[in-house]
């Protein structure tokens, strides 16, 4: 080795360096996008990959699901209520070649698209729908994002709206509205109870009027209840059938 010319030593060292630089190991969740003299050649991986230095270049692509936190967005609902909404987007690269060739930064592009889509979709709905139909809004945003990112080789699997923040004045207004709604329901329930009680009284009166003996029994029961009362004054109900002959006499002028 010492007897070799210096240039042979340089060549051997360069060869070893080039050999090690040509060896690439890709994990199970990684793929390599190969370019040959700048032109797309194919996708390789996982495992041991040989890339010829200078002539070939490889770009690693991670296929795992990415969790993207969408920052709070100022949204004006269809009923002109200003809210702040943030969300989480779950996506992954399904076509490494498109993710490298079609878009410069797939993660940043997906983030910006998620922000604009979130504002656009929520702006078409009223505040009550944002609060009550969050699952439906999640599906709407996910579908639009998935369709838009398909050209980039990205699959948006799920979107979750985390928070819908209101200002203090809107929170107080909603509290007053909820209180008014509870009062309205309480009045309706009370009115329905009164109506049912009146209907029951009418039915009871009809049942008592159908048989005079029922009225006599009710009269005796009332006297019993009055006798149990601790009072110095006793009121005796006078049945109307006892007064009927007297009323008729007075009507005939006798």
CATH number of the domain that residue 74 is part of: 3.30.479.30
Task: Tell me what the mean pLDDT of segment 85-110 comes to.
Answer: 94
Residues 55 and 141 in one domain: no
Query: How many structural domains does the chain have?
Result: 2
- The residue assigned the tokens 């042979």 is 8
Residues 46 and 132 in one domain: no
Task: For residue 251, tell me if it sits in a domain.
Answer: no
Residues 102 and 88 in one domain: yes
| Identity of the highest mean pLDDT range in 131-145, 193-207, 229-243 | 131-145
Task: Tell me what the mean pLDDT of segment 228-252 comes to.
Answer: 60
pLDDT band at 227 (very low <50, low <70, confident <90, very high): low
- Comparison of pLDDT for 8 and 234, the residue scoring more: 8
**Do β-strands 30-36 and 56-62 pair in parallel, antiparallel, or remain unpaired?**
antiparallel
Say whether pTM exceeds 0.75: no
Task: For residue 138, tell me if it sits in a domain.
Answer: yes
Task: Tell me what the mean pLDDT of segment 234-254 comes to.
Answer: 59
The residue among 143, 171, 199 that closes a domain is 171
The residue among 117, 152, 171 that closes a domain is 171
* Number of C-beta neighbours around residue 150 at 10 A: 14
Task: For residue 99, tell me if it sits in a domain.
Answer: yes
- pLDDT digit string (tens) for 26-50? 999 999 999 999 999 999 989 999 9
Q: Exposed, middle or buried by CB within 10 Å (0-12, 13-18, 19+), for 100?
A: buried
Task: Tell me what the mean pLDDT of segment 209-228 comes to.
Answer: 65
Task: For residue 225, tell me if it sits in a domain.
Answer: no
The residue among 130, 148, 171 that closes a domain is 171
Residues 116 and 151 in one domain: yes
Which tokens sit at 195? 């109506």
- Comparison of pLDDT for 178 and 100, the residue scoring more: 100
Host domain of residue 35: 6-62
Task: Tell me what the mean pLDDT of segment 136-144 comes to.
Answer: 94
Distance CA 6, CA 152 (A): 51
Arithmetic mean of pLDDT over the chain: 82
Lowest-confidence segment of 1-10, 13-22, 67-76, 97-106 by average pLDDT: 1-10
CA-based nearest residue to 187, from 174, 198, 179: 179
Task: Tell me what the mean pLDDT of segment 90-101 comes to.
Answer: 96
Residues 20 and 115 in one domain: no
* Number of C-beta neighbours around residue 121 at 10 A: 21
Is the pLDDT reported for residue 1 higher than 60?
A: no
Task: For residue 136, tell me if it sits in a domain.
Answer: yes
Instruction: Please give the angle made by the CA atoms of 208, 212 and 216, to the nearest 5 degrees.
Output: 85
């Amino acid at each position: 080795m010492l007897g070799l010319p210096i240039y042979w030593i340089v060549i051997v060292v360069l060869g070893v360096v080039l050999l090690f630089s040509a060896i690439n190991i890709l994990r199970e969740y990684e793929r390599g996008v190969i370019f040959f003299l700048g032109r797309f050649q194919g996708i390789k991986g996982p495992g041991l990959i040989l890339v010829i230095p200078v002539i070939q270049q490889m770009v690693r692509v991670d296929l795992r699901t990415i969790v993207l936190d969408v920052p709070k967005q100022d949204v004006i609902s269809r009923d002109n209520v200003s809210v702040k909404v943030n969300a989480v987007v779950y996506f992954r690269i399904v076509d490494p070649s498109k993710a490298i060739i079609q878009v410069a930064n797939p993660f940043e592009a997906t983030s910006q698209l998620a922000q604009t889509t979130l504002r656009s979709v929520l702006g078409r709905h009223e505040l009550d729908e944002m609060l009550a139909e969050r699952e439906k809004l999640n599906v709407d945003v996910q579908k639009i994002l998935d369709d838009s990112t398909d050209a980039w080789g990205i699959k948006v699997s799920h979107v979750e709206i985390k928070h819908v923040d209101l200002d203090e004045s809107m929170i107080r207004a909603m509290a007053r509205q909820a209180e008014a709604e509870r009062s309205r329901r309480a009045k309706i329930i009370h009115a329905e109870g009164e109506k049912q009680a009146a209907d029951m009284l009418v039915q009871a009166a009809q049942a008592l009027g159908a048989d005079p003996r029922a009225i006599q029994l009710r009269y005796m029961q009332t006297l019993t209840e009055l006798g149990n009362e601790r009072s110095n004054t006793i009121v005796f109900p006078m049945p109307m059938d006892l007064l009927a002959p007297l009323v008729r006499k007075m009507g005939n002028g006798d």
